[in-house]
Structure formats: structure tokens, C-alpha cells
Amino acid sequence: MSETSQFPGWHGTTIIGVKKGGKVVIAGDGQVSIGQTVIKGTARKVRRISPGGHDVVCGFAGSTADAFTLLERLEAKLEAAPGQLAKASVELAKDWRMDKYLRNLEAMLIVTDGDDLFVITGAGDVLQPENDIAAIGSGGNFALAAARALMDSKHDAEKIARKAIKIAAEICVYTNGNMTVEVIKK
């Protein structure tokens, strides 16, 4: 029996980042599931951190403990390189891929400082998405498709992110409509 098959598996979450009209929004649903059981419907998977006085918004999908470990590491990287989200993200991704302990963390992050929008993965990726939209989690592809369809509309980034999460929640059983939304304007 493999180590991962001993646990029922964490599913769920839809996190989306949308950049439009001088705003960057990260929104996430609130559902936490183990297997086919909803454990919590009001989790907060989008957080604002302010290392060195520079606001950064982070959304995470995957194991909560792993995600918080990564958020702490990102915060430390940002304290070492204030206002340099790209550099801090690359440094985190390098550590994540190379460090024996971090390598086993199961989470993904979407981060923004209002200028840049990145997806950070355990494979060492720091991705700057095309079309100014990033989405992760079990409902991520549904939210991504919805947001891409809405980008040419009159809606601002926040309205697009909210509608995208709502649509994902209607399709993905591991996503609900209880949203946390954080906005950064530049």
C-alpha cells in the first residue's frame, strides 16, 4: 500500500486569479472535502500577507497544512526581497523542488502583488498565465473557462472572478459558492 493510498484524499477547491483594469483579484471557494464527504463549507483559502509593508494576496489548493508551510516560506522570501514577488516566487519554487522535506508538500499557489500574477507549483514552476487569468484546484478548469469567456465583457476583475467561482460551484462537486475574495488595485 502506497503512502498516499492510506488516506482518503483531499479534494476540492477552486481558486482563480483575474487581472483586469488595474485590479487583480484572487477568489476561492470555501469547501473542504475528504473523499466524498464535505468537512467544512466556510474555509478561507485566500489570504493577504504584507511582508515588509508590501501587500501580496495568495490563494491555495491542496493540503491546508502544506499550503500554510508554503505561505510562510513565501513570506520569508518576500522579507528577504521586499517588493520582488517574481524573485521570491522563483526562490520558493526552487526550494520546493530541491528540498527533501518541501518536495513532498501537496499544494499549489496563485499569488499576486497587484502587478504580477503567478501560479507556483511543486514541480518548480512559476507560471505567468496567458490572458491574465490563473486557476487551480478541482474546479479550476471550469472557473478558468468561465473567466475567459467573461474577459471581453464590461465586468471588472472582481465580478469576473465571482461569476467564475459561482459557475465552477455549479459544476464541480468539490467546490461551493462560499467565497473569499481579495482585491489589489494598482
Catalytic positions: 13
**Helix, strand or coil, per DSSP, at residue 53:** helix
Selection from 169, 151, 147 nearest residue 16 by Cα: 147
Kindly give the pairing relationship between strand 107-112 and strand 117-120. antiparallel
* Lookup result for grid cell 475574495: 181
The residues near 180 (Cβ < 8 Å, ≥ 6 apart) are: 27, 28, 30, 44, 45, 46
